[in-house]
Amino acid sequence: MDLKLTPLAGCFGARVDHDLTASTEPDLAEVLTSALYRHRLLIFPNQHLNHADLLAASGLFGTVDTDVDRLYAVSGFPGITMVSNIVEDNAHIGIYDGDHEEEWHADNSFKAALTRATILYSVITPAHGGETRFADATQAYAGLPAEVKQRIEDLRAVHSIQQLAVRQSEASAGQSSAAAGTLAGRAEVEHPLAPVHSITGARSLLLGSMVVKAVVGLAKQESSQLLAELLAHTTSAPYTHSHRWQQGDVVVWDNHAVLHTASPCDSTRYRRLLYRTAVR
């Protein structure tokens, strides 16, 4: 089947004009996953999905991950969680990042098995703020000097949800989704600093300004400096795209190839609600 794909301005990403509730074509999953690995970021505008539709659409990209934070899960729909700044009965109804810039990260890098792709569906969209910024960690790796590639080829880094909880709390006046959620007790894990993608064979930079604790085998100062330099390079203008959400947008990205972060949103003025799934 043919999809109407329009590449975004820049080095990665594409808009896909396709109704995700019309998913009966037998080769749709293959076409969409191929497009995802080619473009790394797909944007589907003007969608009208219920929870069952979202799970079905997510299943086109892989097996929906049901190992989610139960505190923010949608009852009766395993694998769907809420991302929101909305407070009801003095409690956040969804995973939240406060009113400040969120940290750059790859989803669930604190798990031993990294999420393959993440899907976000916007249902309440703020008039100002709340954009999601994406960084092409594949092209960023490709753009490194040869000596840096050689230096980091075999390095590994420690990813820690405990560190994420502490850093979020420090940045957001004591508020932390990681600390409050049901995944907070996960043990630290190690991942390669520049892993090879299992499908495309390309290397990317796996970073996270709050969740990556240290580079294994390096002194603290050397580790911090290396991580900061790599993140600054990866999130520089040539490799980034900022998505301004519209109600009904579905955005899918290759979590092995792309980092992301949320821009600030004033929760005292604007409400924000997205539904999130991940596939493995």
Name which of 85-89, 175-179, 273-277 the model is least confident about: 175-179
pLDDT at 268 > cutoff 90: no
Pick from 85, 1, 51: which is nearest to 265 by CA?
85
Q: What is the mean pLDDT of the chain?
A: 93
Percent pLDDT > 90 in the chain is 81
Model confidence at 177, pLDDT cuts 50, 70, 90, reads confident
**For residues 3 and 6, what is the distance between their CA atoms, to the nearest angstrom?**
10
What are the Cα distances from residue 16, in Å, to 106, 122, 170, 278?
23, 16, 39, 19
pLDDT confidence band for 107 (50 / 70 / 90): very high
| pLDDT number for residue 11 | 85
Half-sphere exposure of 150 (CA within 13 A, CB side): 3
Query: Which pLDDT score is estimated for 174?
Result: 64
Classify domain 5-279 at the CATH class level.
alpha beta
Q: What is the mean pLDDT of residues 183-200?
A: 94
**β partners of residue 275:** 82, 121
Over 80: is that where the pLDDT of 178 sits?
A: no
Exposure string for 121-154, b = 16+ CB within 10 A, e = fewer: bbeebbeebbbbbbbbbbbbbebbeeebeeebee
User: pLDDT tens digits for 87-104?
Assistant: 999 888 998 765 666 789
Domain residue ranges in the chain: 5-279
Instruction: Compute the distance between CA of residue 23 and CA of residue 17 in angstroms, rounded to an integer.
Output: 13
CA distances from 138 to 80, 94, 95, 176, 259 (A): 27, 30, 27, 29, 10
Q: What is the mean pLDDT of residues 213-238?
A: 97
Task: Over range 40-59, report the average pLDDT.
Answer: 97
How much is the pLDDT for 97? 61
Q: What is the pLDDT of residues 70-80, one digit of tens each?
A: 999 999 999 99
Range 3-25 average pLDDT? 91
Residue range 124-173, pLDDT digits in tens: 999 999 999 999 999 999 999 999 999 999 999 999 999 887 777 666 66
pTM reported for the whole predicted model: 0.94
Three-state DSSP class for residue 15:
strand
| Residue with the two structure tokens 């991580």 | 227
